[in-house]
Amino acid sequence: MASSNPKVWFVTGASSGFGRAVTEVMLQRGDNVVATLRKPAMLDDLANVYSQNRLLVLPLDVTVPSDITTVFLKARETFGRIDVVFNNAGLCIIGEAEGMPDDDAKLLFDTLFWGAANVTKEAVTTFRDLNQPPGGRLLQMSSRGVLRVIPGVAHYAAAKAALESLSEGYAAELDPAWNIKITILQPARFRTAAPWTNVLVPVHPAYSDPNLPSRQYRSIYPGAELFSDGDIYKFAAQIHRLVQLEDPPFYLPLHRTALEAAKIKGQKLLQAVEDYGSWSDDVYLDEENCQGRA
C-alpha cells in the first residue's frame, strides 16, 4: 500500500514482539521504517521484500549511547526526517525483589531506563532541531506492570516506572512550539515470544514456600504465553491510529487487564486522598515563619 505522505518510523527492539509487529504494520500501511535491533539478520525476510527506501535495518544495542547517536544519524541521512519514535527495546528478568542480583538489576535499568532515556534524548533533538517543520511523536513503551506490579518482576516495573517519570518531566518541559507529542503505552498480556526469552534467576531462600506470590508467578513458566490473549498486530494497528490524532493521550493502557489495573490504581489514590486528606491540614509553617519564603 502506497501512501501519498508517508511517515518515517524509528523502531527499537524490532526483532520480535511489539517491535516486529509495529514494523510490519507500518510498512503495510505505506509508511517507511528504520528498524533497529541487536541482530539485523532477524529481519532478513522483510529486507528481501522492502527496498531500503522503505525499510532501513540497522544494528543497535540501546545500552551503548554512541550507537544510538549513530543510528539516528543514519536514519536522518536516509529519510531526511523521523516522524515517530517507537521506544520499545527491552528484556525481562524474573526474580524476587530481595533476591535480584545486582548485575541483573543493573542490566534491566541500563536497557529499560538508560537505553530508553538516551533514545528519548536523540528523538527530541531530531524532532526539534532537525525536522523541517519541527515536530514528532514519541511513543514510550511502558507496561501494565507499572500500574500493578506483578510479584517477581519488581525491578522490571521499577525501570519502566522511572521511564514514565522521565517522560512526564519531558512533557512538562518541552516548548509547545516544538510540536512534540509523547504517549506512554501501558500494554498487558499481549502474546509475544517474550516468555521464552525471559530469564528466571534462582529463588531467594526466604521465598521457598511455593504458595508465595512470586513462586506462583514463576510456576507459569514455561507456558506463560498461554495466559496472554492480546494480538500484537492489532496493538500495532491501534498505534497507527494513535499517531493520526492531533491531540493524543499522554497515557494509553491497552488490554482489559491494563484498563482494570489503571482503574484500581486511580481508585486507591483517590481513596487515600479521601481518607487521609485531613492529615495535610496542619503540616505547614506558621505564618510568621513564612516571611521571605516562596
The residues assigned a catalytic role are 142, 156, 160
Among 23, 25, 19, which residue's Cα sits nearest to residue 47? Answer: 23
Residue with cell 541482530: 39
Q: Are 116 and 160 in contact (CB under 8 A)?
A: no
Positive or negative, the CA dihedral 151, 152, 158, 160 is negative
Please say whether the beta carbons of 232 and 23 come within 8 A: no
* Beta pairing class for 93-94 and 199-200: parallel
Nearest one of 244, 163, 222, 234 to 18, comparing CA atoms: 234
Distance CA 60, CA 74 (A): 12
C-alpha of 224 from chain center: 21
Strand partners, 251: 184
The H-assigned helical ranges of 174-255 are 194-197, 213-218, 232-242
**Please, are residues 251 and 184 in contact by the beta-carbon 8 Å criterion?**
yes
Cβ atoms of residues 36 and 63 within 8 Å = no
Q: List the grid coordinates of 65.
A: 549511547
Contact in structure between 215 and 111 (CB atoms under 8 Å): no
